[in-house]
């Protein structure tokens, strides 16, 4: 396990307000991303995903969110890591996000009121258009490493990070 941090102590006592998911489909050297059209992080590039509904598991949530946002059905979702986000401003809830990868799906990625999908080369991911934490963990995940991380934000500016990833 590799550990990196900004000197920040992983908080022992922290409970999220909401549970959420993200999905990254990788196929033939390309990754399926979205421009998020509404909700937390509207305007940013991210994977599809969203909040748990009552009684859902992380897997059920991510499959439903991807179906709702892009009209595709993922066939081989696997959970790769967990992201914990604490927002200093108090207007965005504390979020725990389960991150999945997949390589196979049915249907055609389709724009919806929530998301505009696009394919991007895995070596050309537009980190400047994404949440600032993504460049810390997404490359490790794309190398097949499982991870857990904690990030603090003020608005959409990242303040501190602590990342544990497989060697
Ligand atoms: N710092 C961050 N880095 C990141 O990569 N994704 C983040 C993030 N902060 C939030 N997210 C993502 C995780 C999750 O998929 C999403 C949660 O935002 P929302 O609550 O707006 O979701 P949705 O718009 O899908 O809501 P619902 O459809 O109502 O569930 O935002």
Convert the pLDDT of each residue in 69-89 to its tens digit: 999 999 999 999 999 999 887
Tokens for 130? 């994404």
For residues 25-53, average pLDDT: 97
Q: Domain of 134: which CATH number?
A: 3.90.79.10
Cα of 5 to ligand 1 centre, how many Å?
Answer: 23
**Cβ partners under 8 Å of residue 4, min gap 6:** 136, 161, 162, 163, 165
For residues 78-102, average pLDDT: 92
Residue 1 lies in a domain: no
Compute φ and ψ for 145, nearest 5 degrees: -90, 135
Q: Tell me: pLDDT of 90 over 90.
A: no
Q: What was the pLDDT predicted at 88?
A: 80
- H-helix segments, 7-153: 58-70, 134-142
Residue 8 lies in a domain: no
For residues 92-109, average pLDDT: 96
Q: Strands, E, within the chain: which ranges?
A: 2-5, 18-27, 30-36, 45-46, 49-51, 73-74, 78-87, 95-102, 105-106, 115-121, 147-154, 157-165
C-alpha neighbours within 13 Å on the C-beta side of residue 151: 21
pLDDT above 90 covers what percent of the chain? 87
At 91, the pLDDT band (50, 70, 90 cuts) reads confident
Give the ipTM of the model, two decimals please.
0.92
Cα of 167 to ligand 1 centre, how many Å?
Answer: 28
Residues having CB closer than 6 A to ligand 1 are 20-22, 39-41, 46, 49-51, 65, 85, 95, 97, 131, 133-134
Q: Which atom of ligand 1 is nearest to the CA of 156?
A: 1
Cα of 11 to ligand 1 centre, how many Å?
Answer: 22
CA distance 100 to 146: 10
Residue 12 lies in a domain: no
Residue 2 lies in a domain: no
Residue 3 lies in a domain: no
Size of the chain in residues: 167
CA distance 75 to 52: 19
Q: What was the pLDDT predicted at 20?
A: 98
* Buried b / exposed e along 28-49 (16+ C-beta atoms within 10 A): eeebbbbebeeebeeebbbbbb
Cα of 100 to ligand 1 centre, how many Å?
Answer: 14
Q: Tell me: pLDDT of 9 over 90.
A: no
Cα of 60 to ligand 1 centre, how many Å?
Answer: 16
Q: What was the pLDDT predicted at 18?
A: 95
pLDDT tens-digit series, residues 47-65 = 999 999 999 999 999 999 9
Residue 141 lies in a domain: yes
Q: What is the dihedral of CA 129, 134, 135, 141, to 10 degrees?
A: -130
- For ligand 1, atom 17, the nearest C-alpha belongs to 50
pTM equals 0.96
Range of the domain at 37: 17-165
More confident residue, 2 or 79: 79
Mean of pLDDT over the chain? 95
pLDDT tens-digit series, residues 113-167 = 999 999 999 999 999 999 999 999 999 999 999 999 999 999 889 999 999 999 8
- For ligand 1, atom 14, the nearest C-alpha belongs to 50
* Domains identified in the chain, total number: 1
């Amino acid at each position: 396990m590799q550990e990196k941090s900004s000197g920040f102590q992983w908080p022992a006592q922290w409970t999220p307000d909401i549970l959420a998911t993200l999905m990254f489909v990788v196929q033939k050297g390309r990754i399926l991303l979205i421009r998020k059209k509404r909700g937390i992080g509207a305007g940013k590039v991210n994977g599809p995903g969203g909040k748990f509904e009552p009684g859902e598991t992380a897997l059920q949530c991510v499959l439903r969110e991807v179906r709702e946002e892009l009209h595709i059905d993922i066939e081989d979702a696997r959970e790769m890591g967990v992201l914990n986000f604490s927002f200093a401003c108090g207007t965005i809830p504390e979020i725990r996000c389960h991150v999945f990868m997949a390589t196979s799906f049915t249907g055609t990625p389709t724009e919806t009121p929530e998301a505009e999908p696009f394919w991007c080369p895995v070596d050309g991911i537009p980190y400047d258009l994404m949440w600032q934490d993504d460049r810390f963990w997404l490359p490790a995940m794309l190398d097949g490493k499982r991870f857990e991380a904690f990030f603090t934000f003020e608005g959409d500016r990242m303040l501190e990070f602590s990342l544990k990833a497989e060697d």
